[in-house]
Chain A
């Protein structure tokens, strides 16, 4: 069953076709990886899906709903969360506060009742805090809970960003190069989290990734791109064997 569908998506910058008529489906509960050499249009597709860029043409369908014209902040409340290649956290806030901001789209009380801190607001706050604590426990971040993001090492921040995305309670999680800047051990750790997120939480994942070891380890299906077009789509092994893909990576 398809959770998310991209139909004939295109983005042209003047004469350059960064994304040139791409269609694919992402099934509920799968890990879908997008690979390709530099400049293939991976990140552009990612920014189109997460609604940072406006496509020239094509449609994005999430759970049967057309989200092609929805702004990014609405997409979050529909159940799509994302991380960033270069980590975009609230650096002057603690880890816990960052996760709590992830609960933003689930808060619905009026301003007045929030200022007065009514019992209903209090119960809701406790529930949000509880959800954040669950994510902290899930990712094993307990000992960093009250530290400022600015004081945490890069590898931990990468995990925190995934945690904040999970606090949104997403159906679809978009990971932009989850292994970038990480060493081999940290990358293996990320692979384990992605497995857990899909397996335990049942969240569908779309990720852009360079590291083929990570892609092979976690993906159900892989889509290889070059020059804004699909070269191959299949399992990691199939795609890696594809002659077009080999040519795109190695030249010739």
Chain B
């Protein structure tokens, strides 16, 4: 029985971390689907979200929930402006220019965060800190549980947004055919900026949820590489795929950390990615399954 409990334990921990990968991957996918660019600064947006929450909650002394909400609002505004003021200037340029631009933005964000918040890892108190739930031998920290619940809640809101609202449908339309979307009365540029806003907001939420588990530091954004693996795993273009990909990477990583020698853990995400690219290059969820409007 101990073994089963331990396996469940590992899977639960992996799922929690995987949810974070999934949320960052979701940001990759949203921006890619709508604007056809890959934002390599996605992980760094998460880092900025984490630090911002640290300032609001630990420094300013706001309530956790209020700080969480404000972080999301501020980061959404930041994402919107990032597209409206910076990314929009490279529309029509070669993909490589966009790639270099987002990579460069990542460097700037890390440097700026270092100047503003310093290079030490920080944390802030949450209502979940130190609390543990025991389900008959299976121990779940309240922090991990908050990640799971937070991810599910966020996904539910996003699902309703994309399936029910005019703006969500406009985003899907823009991702399929920009020219046609324009002539249906959809302001495509504004839709692009709003997509960046949502992606930044989701990344910030991931940062706030992850902060109590992994601490916030300048290089937190490198987690984005594992999230990138998760996005590719899910087919890069599929929102459920990104989440499933994230959870798969998270679980594989936990299992590797438990059963393989030290050091293997951090390469497993990329090992899984390589494996998927070789065996199923279109990703776990194939195009026909995922492109449903």
Interface residues, chain A, CB within 8 Å of chain B?
Answer: 50, 71-77, 81-82, 84, 88-94, 97, 101-102, 104-105, 107, 109, 111, 114-115, 117, 164-165, 168
Given A89-B177, A90-B173, A91-B176 in contact, is the A168-B166 Cβ separation under 8 Å?
Answer: no
Please give, as numbers and ranges, the residues of chain B lying within 8 Å of A107 by CB-CB distance: 166
Kindly state whether residue B185 has any CB partner on chain A within 8 Å.
yes
Q: How far, in Å, is A93 (CB) from chain B's closest CB? A: 4
> How far is it, in angstroms, between the C-alpha of A240 and the C-alpha of B255 when the chains are bound?
79
- Are B166 and A101 in touch, CB under 8 angstroms? no
Contacting A at CB under 8 A, from B196-249, are none
Please give, as numbers and ranges, the residues of chain B lying within 8 Å of A81 by CB-CB distance: 183
- Are B170 and A76 in touch, CB under 8 angstroms? no
Contacting A at CB under 8 A, from B275-293, are 291-293
Please give, as numbers and ranges, the residues of chain B lying within 8 Å of A73 by CB-CB distance: 182-188
Between-chain CB contacts (< 8 Å), 15 pairs: A72-B182, A73-B182, A73-B185, A73-B186, A76-B183, A76-B185, A90-B180, A93-B293, A101-B173, A104-B169, A104-B170, A105-B184, A115-B165, A164-B184, A165-B183
Given A73-B188, A92-B293 in contact, is the A114-B183 Cβ separation under 8 Å?
Answer: no
Given A76-B183, A76-B185, A168-B185 in contact, is the A115-B170 Cβ separation under 8 Å?
Answer: no
Given A88-B179, A90-B177, A92-B176 in contact, is the A104-B185 Cβ separation under 8 Å?
Answer: yes
Please give, as numbers and ranges, the residues of chain A lying within 8 Å of B292 by CB-CB distance: 92
Q: How far, in Å, is B282 (CB) from chain A's closest CB? A: 15
> How far is it, in angstroms, between the C-alpha of A192 and the C-alpha of B178 when the chains are bound?
30
The 6 closest A-B pairs by CB, nearest first: A105-B185, A76-B185, A88-B180, A92-B291, A114-B165, A93-B293
- Are B179 and A90 in touch, CB under 8 angstroms? no
| Per-residue A-contact encoding for B144-179, CB less than 8 Å = 1, 0 else | 000000000000010011001111011001001101
- Are B166 and A50 in touch, CB under 8 angstroms? no
Please give, as numbers and ranges, the residues of chain B lying within 8 Å of A77 by CB-CB distance: 185
Please give, as numbers and ranges, the residues of chain A lying within 8 Å of B167 by CB-CB distance: 111
- Are A72 and B183 in touch, CB under 8 angstroms? yes
B interface majority secondary structure: helix
Q: Please give 15 more A-B residue pairs, beta carbons under 8 A apart, in addition to A104-B169, A114-B166, A115-B160.
A: A76-B183, A76-B185, A84-B180, A88-B177, A88-B180, A89-B180, A90-B293, A91-B176, A92-B291, A92-B292, A101-B169, A104-B186, A109-B166, A111-B167, A115-B165
> How far is it, in angstroms, between the C-alpha of A28 and the C-alpha of B169 when the chains are bound?
33
Category for how many chain B residues contact A: 20 to 34
Please give, as numbers and ranges, the residues of chain A lying within 8 Å of B160 by CB-CB distance: 115
Closest B residue to A174 by beta carbon equals B183
Please give, as numbers and ranges, the residues of chain A lying within 8 Å of B187 by CB-CB distance: 71, 73
Which single member of A50, A102, A111 contacts B184 (CB below 8 Å)? A102
Q: How far, in Å, is B158 (CB) from chain A's closest CB? A: 11
> How far is it, in angstroms, between the C-alpha of A239 and the C-alpha of B205 when the chains are bound?
65
> How far is it, in angstroms, between the C-alpha of A81 and the C-alpha of B184 when the chains are bound?
8
Q: How far, in Å, is B107 (CB) from chain A's closest CB? A: 34
> How far is it, in angstroms, between the C-alpha of A102 and the C-alpha of B173 when the chains are bound?
11
Please give, as numbers and ranges, the residues of chain A lying within 8 Å of B177 by CB-CB distance: 88-91
Most buried by B among A88, A89, A105: A88
Please give, as numbers and ranges, the residues of chain B lying within 8 Å of A90 by CB-CB distance: 173, 176-177, 180, 293
Closest A residue to B190 by beta carbon equals A73
Please give, as numbers and ranges, the residues of chain B lying within 8 Å of A88 by CB-CB distance: 177, 179-180, 183
Q: How far, in Å, is A189 (CB) from chain B's closest CB? A: 22
Closest A residue to B287 by beta carbon equals A92
Q: How far, in Å, is B186 (CB) from chain A's closest CB? A: 6
